[in-house]
Amino acid sequence: MEALFAQLLDSVDLTQVLAVFASSDEDGVGAVLLLLLGGPAFFMFTYMRYRNTDKRHRHEIETPAEMNNLQQYNNFIKHLTRQSSSTITGANDNVVSGSLLSNGGASKSFKAINDITKNFK
Amino acid sequence: MTNRTDFPPPNANQQAFPPPAAGNQVNAQNIQDALEKAVAPKVINTSNNKNDGLNKCPRCGSTEISTQPGTGMLVCHHCRYVFEVAVAVFKDPKELIGEAIGTGAGDITIDETQVTIKCQGCGAEVVVNIEGSMTSRCHWCRQVLSLENQMPNGAVPDVLLPFLLSRETAKQHIEAFAKKRTFYANSHFKREFTTENIIGVYLPYMVVDANVHCDIRGKAGDVVRKYTVGSGDNKKTYYDIDLYDIGRDFDLAIDNLTVEASTDKLNVNNKMNTNNIINSILPFDLENAVHYNGNYLKGFNSERRDTNINDLRGLVDAQVRDVARFKANSTATKYDGGIKWESQDMDTKGSQWLSAYLPVWLYSYMQVKGNGQKLLHYIAVNARTGETMGSVPVSIGRLLFVSSLIEVGLLFLVIIFFLFLVF
């Protein structure tokens, strides 16, 4: 039974589910739906607090690194209006590829990472 | 971080990036030199020219030496002299050119687990099983013999970090962690939990310094307006976003990027193990690492490295790219509409690989599930920083029951709310 729940928890990102419900309406129905998710949300929160299956070393920010000789450009391209999302399509600035856990907590194989990356010389 | 803003955009008539500053110019000879160095890695000799056998107290010559609890220093149990091994100092990552490899990080070419050491005290030959211990006592003269020679079986690393946290402190950390997770814990776990059997273990890691150049480009969004259109059920929120073409070009000196060097610990699979817990207690204060000295291992377990540098290149490459990308993110914080990085070119100018033993206090619990499947849970303490993380088996039935009660209660509240609205 726990294996089944673990599989479900690996495949569901609670923050995304909550965001969908919270933004579904602004006159109270979304809030009520959010309230109805209280039981599953409590289950997931508690399970993760005990099992910590999403915890990992955050190498991308915890590794000491010194940047030097920075050069940069920032060129305005165009003004986009009436966008339904506050984030541009394909934004990937928070994606981490070198972790054995994916961003949502699911496992990635060490071989899978080695297969898709170049050899570091 | 130094910042130059004379970085031209990549339009059709302009060169994408300006030539390097005068001090950084590379010529064909430099490139050739770098290539040659890349083909034949430099070797950093970390062996200290020591041989297996007696590792004596510098004051009285006794071999009864071990780590002093709570300080990370060595103490002689004969004359009480407290001393430490000098901190290992290596090249600044900014100055690395070509690839350099520590003598303890070389490829594993033999798979010996038993080593014979000749006792310099009496001449006896003593066999040490290095799977569990790197030291042994001579059965004739009772002196302690330790394995110091870096043989190619991954047993002796270049550097190590001594245990700083005492066993008692680690027990307190583990107890506090488990105590906060008692109510929904598996009943077997609650019954059997005791910190009496925690073990201090030196786990094998590969520590990489890198001197890289990164050229990263993409599109970025700056949200300039948020507004709502319509009313009632047709109300919708929209955003106006300024789209930019952005690029960052920089040098990056990465210090002590740390990856597991044991196949077992690299296998992170939440359904089969809890190895992510051990990964999560990184990083260590590697600037305080000392050259390997077998005396530090007395009283602790150690796990042998079983991966080679070539096995880890892909993982390290991916992590170096992540570090560079997040550094680039830190220079573009004004783009609250996100960044879509489209290209990332990396050039590794130099790198340094060292094998290391890093200290961890471990509590482990084997959970046997109803279907007979086993899952090994860890509570791990970083024996330098005290960072603690763990996995506690959950009583799914109890958690499901309480979650259901909460859900029923909330449903009841919603029904009352709607009844109140209707009447």
**Which of B221, B251, B271 is closest, CB to CB, to A6?**
B271
Share of chain B above pLDDT 70, in %: 85
Q: Does B231 touch chain A (CB under 8 A)?
A: no
- The pLDDT value recorded for residue B401 is 96
Share of chain B above pLDDT 90, in %: 56
Query: Over 60: is that where the pLDDT of A3 sits?
Result: no
- The pLDDT value recorded for residue A2 is 57
Query: Over 90: is that where the pLDDT of B88 sits?
Result: no
Q: Name residue, tokens 């001449």.
A: B123
- The pLDDT value recorded for residue A83 is 96
Q: pLDDT tens, B280-295?
A: 999 999 999 999 888 8
Query: Over 80: is that where the pLDDT of B256 sits?
Result: yes
Residues 59-88 of A with CB under 8 A from B: 59-88
B249·A65 Cβ contact <8 A: no
- The pLDDT value recorded for residue B89 is 82
Best of B235, B240, B276, B396 to mutate (most A CBs within 10 Å, chain A): B276
- The pLDDT value recorded for residue B52 is 61
Distance set, CA B189 to CA A2, B139, B184, B377 (Å): 15, 41, 11, 10
**Which of B93, B270, B320 is closest, CB to CB, to A107?**
B270
The Cα–Cα gap between A106 and A112 comes to 13
Query: Over 80: is that where the pLDDT of A12 sits?
Result: no
Share of chain A above pLDDT 70, in %: 73
Which residues in chain A have Cβ-Cβ distances shorter than 8 Å to B253?
65-66, 68
Query: Over 60: is that where the pLDDT of A22 sits?
Result: no
The Cα–Cα gap between B197 and B379 comes to 12
Query: Over 60: is that where the pLDDT of B362 sits?
Result: yes
Q: Domain segments of chain A: what residues? A: 1-60
In terms of Cα–Cα distance, which of B294, B144, B52, B78 is closest to B136?
B144
> Which one has a higher pLDDT value, B369 or B130?
B369
The Cα–Cα gap between A35 and A31 comes to 6
> Which one has a higher pLDDT value, B294 or B339?
B339
The Cα–Cα gap between B379 and B377 comes to 7
> Which one has a higher pLDDT value, B236 or A35?
B236
- The pLDDT value recorded for residue B225 is 97
> A16 CA to chain B: closest CA distance, Å?
17
Q: What is the mean pLDDT of residues B148-166?
A: 82
B268·A91 Cβ contact <8 A: no
Indicate the pLDDT class of residue B16, thresholds 50, 70 and 90: very low
Mean pLDDT of chain B: 86
> Which one has a higher pLDDT value, B41 or B200?
B200
> Which one has a higher pLDDT value, B40 or A73?
A73
Which residues in chain A have Cβ-Cβ distances shorter than 8 Å to B18?
71
Tokens of A31: 């809030």
Indicate the pLDDT class of residue B418, thresholds 50, 70 and 90: confident
Phi-psi region of B103 (alpha: psi -120 to 50; beta: other; left: phi over 0): alpha
Query: Over 60: is that where the pLDDT of A5 sits?
Result: no
Which residues in chain B have Cβ-Cβ distances shorter than 8 Å to A87?
221, 337-338
Q: What is the mean pLDDT of residues A94-113?
A: 85
Which residues in chain A have Cβ-Cβ distances shorter than 8 Å to B371?
3
Give the other-Cβ count within 10 Å of A33's Cβ: 15
Main-chain dihedrals φ then ψ at residue B312, nearest 5 degrees = -105, -5
Residue of chain A whose Cα is closest to the Cα of B400: A43
Q: pLDDT tens, B373-406?
A: 899 999 999 999 999 999 999 999 999 999 999 9
- The pLDDT value recorded for residue B180 is 97
Indicate the pLDDT class of residue B370, thresholds 50, 70 and 90: confident
Q: Does B223 touch chain A (CB under 8 A)?
A: yes
Q: Domain segments of chain B: what residues? A: 25-392
B277·A55 Cβ contact <8 A: yes
Residue of chain B whose Cα is closest to the Cα of A113: B315
